[in-house]
Amino acid sequence: MHSVVETPTFATAADRAGLTESMLGRVIDAVAAEPRGGKPALEIEGLYLLVLRRTETGAEEDVEVLHYFAGDDIPVFLLDIAFIGEPLSLTKRQRVELAETLSEIAPQYRASVRAKVVEFKSKPNG
């Protein structure tokens, strides 16, 4: 199981979609259990689109979850969620910007963890 981070964009989209806590839990559990779940998305390495069935509203609907997985040593990032049929399409420029942003996540996360470890080790035991 992997840790999962909800980005602010994902949280906003989940609220807009009316996701219940139960469905949000299913999304997190599915992505945590299989971070490479779904199909590769937008020709961006580590970006996946996972389709899940949403049934808690009484009507069965599929939702698409866009998430990013960069390695076993960092969390999976939930990026967006939409109902099937709602476009998750991006312009070419937006895809390039997204790819650039995502390529920075893993190095920045790893550097942050290293800095915290150094900080923790430098504190006297007390």
- Give the contacts of 77 (CB within 8 A, at least 6 positions apart): 4, 5, 7, 67, 68, 69, 105
Average pLDDT over residues 80-96: 79
Q: Which helix (H) or strand (E) holds 48?
A: strand 47-54
What pTM did the predictor assign?
0.84
What the chain holds in terms of domains, given with CATH numbers, is 4-122 (3.30.2310.20)
For residues 79 and 68, is the Cβ–Cβ distance under 8 A?
A: yes
Check whether 84 has a pLDDT greater than 80. no
Residue 126 identity = G
Question: What confidence tens digit (pLDDT) does each residue in 2-13 have?
Answer: 999 999 999 998
